[in-house]
């Protein structure tokens, strides 16, 4: 491969998305490769926050129905903007809650243990919060998680095999909840096949899209996925703690929400103030509380950019960025003890590269001191996420160059090999 810096610059000149880089606030001489944990602030997101603040200032309570973005309908508006990213119809998506509260809502709605089917199938590599929520839902049904939570094992500690997941779809499984992309290794699961296999066995299945939405196109409605949920502060650049989202396949419309709340109501009935809920006949039924207007605001500007860029073009550049990064690692860092632990096949690779190294914690600290922002995952993992909308091929080249210098000069030994409070 061509390892010259000039080649990286040529790739950037050919980049169809390079105009979006100027939309973001970038640190001076800082290479930000942690967008799979928290995306950068864009100027459009900033302006949409200011816009909703201005509507509060100008309209006060009438902001619910007046202004450029009436608050009463903003969750549905953003659901419509989000739908193309996951291959759904507008009314199948709502921007609401958080990853975990949305998982609680969907599990409370779709986990109905009866007869032999009393178990939930998950995996042992999932993000802990999902497992905490699933265990809570089992306990609320009076079921022992040690008995009723089945977790698919990984053969190598980093990835899952489709055949192993399918083999675990036994007759006692009532519900399956899996990540679309594993948060550590970046493995992209075969959502279409897993959904087909689950439905052939009469099992409902849902996916956590936190590490894929905004990075990878999906076709959830076409594939028949029952439900999905996600955060919006990673690839969607919605800001820290920004409002999450959920998807419910339209064939389930009319199913009463397991956790009902005022905003579960049909819009035209909500202010009748009846004590009998009339749920919305859309994904809006699975909202619970009042929209967090100021936390939802950045998504207005951010999702407009995704609409312009197109998720297919974003995915194409992401694949090329991560592929280029892996090629450079193999070429320049093969003798330094790094192992590429994410799938190298682009059909099963998400939007980040996962390196394993025994000195990972201190290497991450040394990278940060050298102006590169990576992400450490306990005990020995380094996640590197070159994001299509704002990272460049030249930054990938420069990051590898700085990492090679760190390893040559052993500057990582200046740091303790343990994580900080936030890793």
Contact 379/363 with Cβ under 8 angstroms? Answer: no
291 is annotated as contributing to ligand binding: no
DSSP state of 192: H
Contact 63/49 with Cβ under 8 angstroms? Answer: no
Pairing between β-strand 93-95 and β-strand 245-248 as defined by DSSP bridges:
antiparallel
295 is annotated as contributing to ligand binding: no
Q: How many CA atoms lie within 13 A of 9 on its CB side?
A: 3
- What is the rounded distance in angstroms from the CA atom of residue 89 to the CA atom of residue 106? 18
* Packing angle, helices 393-409 and 5-13, rounded to 10: 160
Other C-beta atoms lying within 10 Å of the C-beta of residue 193: 13
15 is annotated as contributing to ligand binding: no
278 is annotated as contributing to ligand binding: no
In 3-state terms, what secondary structure has residue 95? strand
335 is annotated as contributing to ligand binding: no
Burial of 269 (0-12, 13-18, 19+ CB in 10 A): middle
233 is annotated as contributing to ligand binding: yes
3 is annotated as contributing to ligand binding: no
223 is annotated as contributing to ligand binding: no
276 is annotated as contributing to ligand binding: no
Burial of 394 (0-12, 13-18, 19+ CB in 10 A): middle
Contact 263/71 with Cβ under 8 angstroms? Answer: no
Q: How many CA atoms lie within 13 A of 6 on its CB side?
A: 0
Q: Which residues share a beta bridge with 207?
A: 178, 228
DSSP state of 261: -
Pairing between β-strand 381-384 and β-strand 119-123 as defined by DSSP bridges:
unpaired
Q: Which residues share a beta bridge with 381?
A: 356, 377
211 is annotated as contributing to ligand binding: yes
99 is annotated as contributing to ligand binding: yes
Q: Residues forming the annotated binding site? A: 99-100, 127-130, 208, 211, 233, 262, 290
Q: Residues forming the annotated binding site for pyridoxal 5'-phosphate? A: 99-100, 127-130, 208, 211, 233, 262, 290
């Amino acid at each position: 491969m061509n390892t010259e810096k000039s080649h990286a610059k040529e790739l950037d000149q050919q980049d169809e998305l390079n105009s979006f880089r100027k939309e973001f606030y970038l640190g001076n001489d800082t290479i930000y490769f942690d967008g799979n944990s928290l995306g950068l602030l864009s100027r459009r997101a900033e302006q949409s926050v200011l816009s909703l603040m201005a509507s509060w200032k100008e309209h006060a309570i009438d902001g619910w129905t007046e202004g450029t973005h009436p608050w009463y309908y903003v969750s549905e508006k953003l659901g419509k903007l989000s739908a193309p990213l996951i291959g759904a119809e507008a009314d199948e998506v709502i921007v609401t809650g958080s990853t975990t509260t949305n998982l609680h809502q969907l599990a409370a709605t779709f986990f109905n243990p009866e007869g032999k089917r009393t178990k939930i199938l998950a995996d042992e590599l999932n993000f802990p919060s999902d497992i905490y929520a699933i265990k809570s839902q089992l306990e609320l049904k009076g079921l022992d998680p040690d008995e009723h939570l089945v977790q698919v094992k990984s053969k190598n500690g980093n990835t899952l095999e489709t055949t192993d997941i399918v083999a675990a779809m036994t007759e006692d499984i009532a519900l399956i909840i899996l990540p679309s992309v594993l948060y550590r290794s970046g493995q992209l699961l075969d959502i279409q096949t897993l959904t087909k296999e689950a439905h052939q066995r009469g099992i409902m299945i849902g996916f956590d899209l936190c590490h894929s939405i905004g990075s990878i196109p999906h076709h959830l409605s076409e594939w028949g996925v029952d439900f999905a949920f996600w955060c919006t502060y990673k690839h969607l650049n919605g800001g820290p703690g920004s409002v999450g989202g959920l998807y419910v396949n339209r064939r389930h419309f009319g199913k009463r929400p397991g956790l009902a709340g005022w905003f579960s109501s049909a819009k035209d009935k909500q202010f009748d103030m009846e004590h009998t809920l009339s749920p919305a006949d859309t994904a809006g039924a699975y909202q619970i509380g009042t929209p967090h207007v100021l936390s939802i605001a950045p998504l207005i500007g951010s999702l407009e950019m995704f609409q312009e860029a197109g998720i297919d073009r974003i995915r194409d550049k992401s694949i090329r960025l991560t592929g280029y990064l892996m090629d450079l690692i193999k070429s320049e860092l093969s003798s330094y003890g790094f192992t590429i632990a994410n799938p190298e096949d682009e059909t099963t690779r998400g939007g980040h590269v996962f390196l394993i190294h025994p000195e990972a914690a201190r290497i991450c600290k040394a990278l940060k001191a050298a102006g590169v922002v990576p992400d450490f995952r306990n005990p020995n993992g380094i996640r590197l996420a070159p994001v299509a909308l704002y990272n460049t091929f030249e930054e990938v080249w420069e990051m590898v160059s700085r990492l090679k210098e760190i390893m040559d000069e052993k500057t990582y030994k200046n740091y303790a090999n343990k994580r900080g409070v936030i890793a």
